[in-house]
Amino acid sequence: MPALACCVDAAVAPPGHAFAGDSSLPAPPFSGVTPATTAVATDSSHWSPSLSSDLYRINAWGGPYFTVNSSGNVAVRPHGSATLPHQEIDLLKIVKKVSDPKPDCGLGLQLPLIVRLPDVLKNRLESLQGAFDLAIQSHDYASHYQGVYPVKCNQDRFVVEDIVRFGSPFRFGLEAGSKPELLLAMSCLCKGNPEALLICNGFKDFEYISLALFARKLALNTVIVLEQEEELDVVIDLSKKLGVRPVIGARAKLKTKHSGHFGSTSGEKGKFGLTTTQILRVVKKLDQLGLLDCFQLLHFHIGSQIPSTALLADGVSEAAQIYCELVRLGANMKFIDIGGGLGIDYDGSKSSDSDISVSYSLEEYAAAVVRAVRNVCDRKSVKHPVICSESGRALVSHQSVMIFEAISSSACDDVPPMSAFALQYFIEGLTEEARADYRNLSAAAIRGEYEACLTYADQLKQRCIDQFKEGSLGIEQLATVDGLCDMVSKAIGASDPVRTYHVNLSVFTSIPDFWGIGQTFPIVPIHRLDQRPAVRGILSDLTCDSDGKIDKFIGGESSLPLHELEGNGGANGGGQKYYLGMFLGGAYQEALGGVHNLFGGPSVVRVSQSDGPHSFAVTRAVPGPSCSDVLRVMQHEPELMFETLKHRAEEYGQGDDGGMASAAVATSLARSFHNMPYLVATSSCCLTAMNNHGLYYCSEDDYDVVADSAGGGGGEEDQWSYCCA
């Protein structure tokens, strides 16, 4: 059985220690042959960037915004299909610019990193508008499209401001679902198109409705959408007191239901909206009060990630029927708001049977909506309404890339051959039952009986574990049987070849949808794509939590093709860094992320295409939250904590060094409060030089500052300011 006649992972007996032989035991049939490896061929001579692009499906899920360049790096095409070759932005060059120290002309920011791409956002908005404009023209639709962005998808100031600015020529507006979101939207739309809609969704109280009515006083095109019937009474009462004539909409609970995960808020049992009976009562009340002309918008939401245009058209047609009925009842209807649901293809499969894919393009989506509304309205002889959508995920997902590094991996150890001496050391303490299992394992290996080998290996291992727990077997022998069983599994192909790559990231903070709902995102190495990936792996984060791992990937894969880490990776390994990117995560992830294990958010840079030598310019850079920042989130006071530890250092650091040791400790402590919680590469760590006290200093200059401080130079406040500035 040549496949099984390889080495075993035997513990070596202590030097000078020998055992008598036992002729009743056969010599191991596993020695003398190099063990089989779990890695695939690493020869890159027949590999190319295009093969990596196919392997990771980059063109399928990333087109037209992401590609692999001739250097084997992922590149951004900021203007989509209109991007010229010299305008492509190499992600690895961005990482280098951002993470290099300031003396090397870098920005000195720590990873993980979010790269925001406003050019991509602009292109997405223009593409959405263009798709509806084309559909309206093609179907002789007698009104126009006017989108709004639901700020819940990503409330970042610059994302929202960009959307208002880029969307101004198209009357693009905003949607809010809470009071802070409404305040945000009101402020941003003061600089937008005066015709842009401000849609007020969500559950509302007195204050929320007051804000919405104030917005109308500020000449913002505000629509209060009723989510609950009782909200109407508050709207009527406050509008009279404030002297504002409101514009009112209603969210309808449709019969059409989206059956996927994201459709739980749709259908008659959905969380939001009014039934047809409630809508009729709203019409009647408004009519009695002479306010029926204020009822101008019908809103509905089938659910996020609508998988097919057939389901979309069914829901839009039902809503259009309700719209036409409201016109018949005398409402001054002008807008039909189809809500969200415009999906994106996370895995590139273009499938209608998946929660992470859709089977249509932007153009097909827009055409299905326009056609459905027009057909119903034409049948009812109703004027075509303005079509509004709340497409958030489709707008902002592509504009953000999360970049993080693998810092180490759990390598598969090579198993050295087992000598007769090592074998004797192994069997010395075995029970007779365990020896019988070993004999059976050897015989099965010679006969080539794979299943029997696994059975006897498992029995042998369990007996050895029992002996170890009883104290009759040493740890060296336990390690030997572990190695032996691993060798057997590898030899017959029953072992798990998947490695664990440890990444400098918190899944709970940066990819919460993966942990919370199993949402998968495209994850790809952003460089070395001109090399064949040698292994498969899963990703394990920094948190002390068993759920802090990524073991599901697009395409239904349970592992990801990865490259060997060079020199054991970055961080503490001291080798070449290995960067991975998570794509299409620009919606929801930042707002949903928590601070599990007190890991805060990533650093953020805003990168625009430019005519410079690297085709990009970093227009904004924000370091990630420091340890102090995340401690404050949990009501701690870092300054007081620092003072407590500093005084403790002074108390226990008295000696003949004039206080230099305690001052050095204070400096290190202050820097720890100031730094991000994530791991720092050894080469860039601020603590690099150790003196004879066993303490580390950031540099010779820092040592001088500490010495001056210990000599009476600078007070406690200066110490904190120096270290944390």
Distances (CA, A) of 168 to 164, 216, 407, 540: 6, 19, 44, 43
CA 720 to chain centre: 34
DSSP 228-292: STTHHHHHHHHHHHHT----EEEEB--S----SGGGTT-STT-SSSB-HHHHHHHHHHHHHTT-G
**Residue with token string 């294990």:** 597
Could you tell me which of 604, 128, 587 has the C-alpha nearest to residue 399? 587
Spatial contact of 319 and 336, defined as CB atoms under 8 Å apart: yes
Query: Which residue type does 81 have?
Result: S
Spatial contact of 265 and 341, defined as CB atoms under 8 Å apart: no
CA–CA separation, 426 and 430 (whole Å): 8
The torsion angle over the Cα atoms of residues 26, 27, 30 and 34, rounded to 10 degrees, is -170
Q: Give the number of other CB atoms < 10 A from CB of residue 82.
A: 11
Could you tell me which of 83, 115, 67, 163 has the C-alpha nearest to residue 395? 163
Q: Check residue 103 and report its DSSP letter.
A: G
Query: Which residue type does 584 have?
Result: L
Helix (H) or strand (E) holding 406: strand 400-409
3-state secondary structure of 160: helix
Exposed, middle or buried by CB within 10 Å (0-12, 13-18, 19+), for 350? middle
Spatial contact of 604 and 628, defined as CB atoms under 8 Å apart: no
Query: Which residue type does 129 have?
Result: Q
Q: Which residues does 631 contact at the CB level (< 8 Å), separation at least 6?
A: 598, 637, 638, 641, 673
Active-site annotation, residues = 544
Which residues partner with 361 through β-bridges?
none
Q: Which residues in 31-53 are b (16+ Cβ under 10 Å) and which e? A: beeebbebeeeeebeebbbeebb
CA–CA separation, 375 and 139 (whole Å): 10
Query: Which residue type does 388 have?
Result: C
Greatest distance between any 2 Cα atoms in the chain: 106
Query: Which residue type does 408 have?
Result: S
Query: Which residue type does 280 have?
Result: L
DSSP β-ladder status, 603-609 and 499-503: unpaired
What's the token pair of residue 428?
A: 């010395």
Q: Check residue 497 and report its DSSP letter.
A: -
Distances (CA, A) of 154 to 189, 454, 637: 16, 52, 29
Q: Tell me the angle at which helices 362-380 and 118-138 cross, rounded to the nearest 10 degrees.
A: 40
Helices (H), 329-431: 362-380, 393-396, 420-427
Which residues partner with 618 through β-bridges?
607
Exposed, middle or buried by CB within 10 Å (0-12, 13-18, 19+), for 447? exposed
Helices (H), 139-199: 157-167, 179-189
